[in-house]
């Protein structure tokens, strides 16, 4: 899949999209539930592995669709903070985040655990969701006019909210989410101005 038009990367090469599972930035959660994901490395090395791997992918024109799992069983605010710190380390990465709430599935170790939702998430866990979408929209904002940013984002989010989320979600979270997206800095992607900022 070519993604050059989406990311507006300042080169003429073709780019490849690939799906990858980041899931969490917390070495503790990786060690508890996904130890095999980081082999042959140790769970404690997970954040460093992710940053280096993302840099290698981007340098070779691979731009991942990256999933994150929010509200996993036993996840604490300390774990959420580590994930936020990792997202900050990846702020110049060319990737599209897909933040998802933990869902208990059959035939897994966690199949009896409670599925996550906005009502049980902490503010830091909700911030992961917001941070991911701020990153995603920052990839598209180059070339937007101010009217689109100021009006269309809140209107579009409001439509989805009223059709699906309002009856089951956190109104304060929704207002915070829309405010964060609508107030994105109206500036070109820093990487477009200075490609040397890309992670290595």
CA distances from 82 to 28, 92, 123, 198 (A): 10, 18, 14, 21
Q: Give the pTM.
A: 0.71
- CATH for 4-197 (3.40.190.10, 3.30.750.200, 3.40.50.300, 3.30.413.10): 3.30.750.200
Per-residue HEC secondary structure of 130-189 comes to HHHHHHHHHHHCCCCCHHHHHHHHHHHHHHHHHHHHCCCCCHHHHHHHHHHHHCCCCCCC
- Cβ burial 84-94 (10 Å sphere, 16+ → b, else e): bebbebbebbb
The count of C-alpha atoms lying within 13 angstroms of the C-alpha of 71, restricted to the half-sphere facing its C-beta, is 20
Cα–Cα distance measured from residue 102 to residue 90, given in angstroms and rounded to the nearest whole number = 22
Mean pLDDT of the chain: 76
Q: Where are the domains of the chain?
A: 4-197
Cα–Cα distance measured from residue 127 to residue 132, given in angstroms and rounded to the nearest whole number = 8
Structure tokens at 188: 């070109």
Could you read off the pLDDT of 99-132 as tens digits, one per residue? 988 888 777 778 778 888 888 889 999 999 989 9
Could you read off the pLDDT of 163-197 as tens digits, one per residue? 455 545 566 666 666 666 655 554 444 444 444 44
């Amino acid at each position: 899949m070519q993604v050059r038009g989406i990311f507006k990367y300042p080169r003429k090469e073709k780019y490849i999209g690939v799906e990858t599972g980041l899931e969490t930035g917390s070495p503790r959660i990786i060690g508890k539930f996904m130890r095999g994901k980081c082999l042959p490395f140790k769970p404690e090395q997970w954040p460093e592995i992710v940053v280096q791997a993302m840099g290698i992918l981007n340098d070779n024109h691979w731009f991942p669709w990256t999933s994150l799992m929010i509200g996993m069983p036993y996840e604490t605010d300390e774990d959420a903070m580590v994930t936020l710190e990792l997202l900050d380390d990846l702020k110049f990465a060319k990737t599209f985040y897909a933040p998802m709430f933990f869902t208990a599935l059959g035939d897994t170790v966690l199949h009896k655990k409670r599925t996550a939702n906005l009502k049980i998430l902490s503010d830091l866990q909700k911030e992961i969701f917001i941070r991911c979408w701020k990153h995603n929209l920052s990839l598209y904002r180059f070339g937007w006019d101010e009217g689109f940013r100021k009006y269309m984002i809140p209107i579009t989010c409001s439509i989805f909210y009223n059709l699906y989320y309002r009856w089951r979600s956190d109104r304060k979270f929704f207002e915070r989410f829309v405010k964060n997206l609508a107030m994105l800095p109206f500036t070109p992607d820093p990487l477009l101005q200075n490609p040397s900022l890309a992670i290595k």
